[in-house]
Amino acid sequence: MRRVLTAAAVAAAVVAVPLTPVASAATPYKGANTAAVQDDFNGDGYRDLVVGAPDAANGGVEAAGAVVVLYGSSATVSATHRTVITQATAGIPGDPEEYDRFGTAVAAADLDRDGYADLIVGTPHEGVGSKESRGSVTVVWGGPKGLRGGTTIAPPTGFGDGLTYCRFGMSLATGDMDGDGAPELSVGSSCEGAAYGGPFTRTGQAAGVERRRDMGEGRGVAMGDVDGDGKAERFWMPGPTDGDLRGPVRYDDADSGFGVKLPYADGHAGVIGDVNGDGYGDLITGISSDDSMSGGPSGWAHKGGEIQVLYGGPHGITADQHPEVFHQDTAGVPGTAENGDEFGQSLSVGDVNGDGYADVLVGSPGEAVGTHMSAGTAVLLRGSASGLTTAKATGYTQDTADVPGAVETGDQFGAAVHLADLDHDGKAETVVGAPTENSDGCVWVARGSASGPVAKGSFNVCGKSAGIGVYDVKGYFGAATTSAHVEL
């Protein structure tokens, strides 16, 4: 049964081609709720890497956006084994338009229960009719030949009535909330949240859909099993509000249908993983904006940004729980907290050394490296039986030995991060985006090992070599992965 917080709390993309739609499986595919199937688009047993390039050009149309899927293998990923998806790709709905920013947010799940992951793409700045930045969400269907054909997920009836610039699709999350093997989809915006029940048909119809106005703006959303019952819970993070600049965190209680605020928790974006190896997912949130960046009232994150950890258990994440807080003034965390570092701008969880504990990778794209402002860094914090720890914490920049490239002002290394086992060796690769590296942007990929990420032999994949176009503005390849980042 669905766990609740407390009784009191409850009261209170190779180019894709069209694919003829097929019916969803009659019964749930048993692997559809596993991590492997959630991002294995071609069913070869290797997880794949999704990289958003929201400012990529389509010919002379600047910032139309693109998504590149780098297919995993025993040799990990490369720029050559790929699929590039844009709104000009055959079978993909919509048209490439200036500053649509297709690929601002990306996610993956087997929405139609056919045993292949499907790609979900947020285009929050797309105009719909007369409404600017109404936003859209597109699904590209996985299959034995990879990603082919797509459809649009429509907003709920009445979504954003009377509101403008809603940016539907600015955040995305998936998870199986009812245990039927058909993941649910959550879509955030700057107006209200939207929740879709699985399974989905190939026409984009969900088993159920609802507006979540009670959750406020859905700038961030996270889904995962925090109570060990095999079903995902959902947490909405509306972003800064007038009374809470650090951002409220609200548990979406599926039983009661009400949102329950976690009074001691804060966050603008979040991810869920089992940091202490106890079988229960833990919620990690990021708040990257500090007072120096607000231009107004104080009360934002710790200087330079912070992350918070709330631990799951048999009763889930309870309303009386106080989070653990980490920032660059925390003993053992690499670096020094400085104004505008944006520590917590991006987050990912994964086991980099195969010890059974999920580790946390934190992006800090505003970090200065020497005299180079906003060169960026990524910090790896290790999971352990006692929870997230700073023991063996490591910081990575483009000045780190064996990390390719060079530190330059404004590269924003760490704007997006991702941990995933792409070569199926039981240890997650470390992926860090530097979207303003050169004119196109790059991602850094390092293999996992028993001692953690291996910088020696690590490599960059950059946007142009991966198939994106650039025109007038930087392509911003590496701005998004299927892990979380804060979108303001």
| Distance of alpha carbon 148 from alpha carbon 92, whole angstroms | 8
Distance of CA 466 to the CA centre of its chain: 20
CA–CA separation, 413 and 479 (whole Å): 10
Distance CA 317, CA 252 (A): 12
pLDDT in tens, the chain (488 residues): 333 333 333 233 323 323 223 333 334 444 445 666 789 999 999 999 999 999 999 999 999 999 999 999 999 999 999 999 999 999 999 999 999 999 999 999 999 988 899 999 999 999 988 888 999 999 999 999 999 999 999 999 999 888 889 999 999 999 999 988 889 999 999 999 999 999 999 999 999 998 887 666 778 999 999 999 999 999 999 989 888 899 999 998 766 666 788 999 999 999 999 999 999 999 999 999 999 997 778 899 999 999 999 999 999 999 999 999 999 999 999 999 999 999 999 999 999 999 999 999 999 999 999 999 999 999 999 999 999 999 999 999 999 999 999 999 999 999 999 999 999 999 999 999 999 999 999 999 999 999 999 999 999 999 999 999 999 999 999 999 999 999 87
The reported pLDDT for the residue numbered 257 is 62
Let me know: does 317 contact 323? Beta carbons within 8 Å: no
Q: Shortest CA distance to 445 belongs to which of 428, 432, 427, 464?
A: 432
Model pTM? 0.92
Q: Across-strand partners of 175?
A: 184
% helix / strand / coil in the chain, to the nearest 5? 5, 35, 60
Classified as helix, coil or strand, 7 is helix
Reported in sequence order, the residue ranges of 179-320 that DSSP labels E, i.e. its strands, are: 184-188, 193-200, 206-212, 220-224, 233-237, 250-252, 259-261, 269-273, 282-287, 306-310
Q: Are 148 and 17 in contact (CB under 8 A)?
A: yes
The 8-class DSSP code of residue 72 comes to P
Residues 271/174, Cβ–Cβ less than 8 Å = no
CA distance 251 to 297: 27
- C-alpha–C-alpha distance, residues 425 and 459, integer Å: 18
**Closest by Cα among 408, 383, 390 to 398:** 408
| Structure tokens that stand for 174 in this block | 């998936």
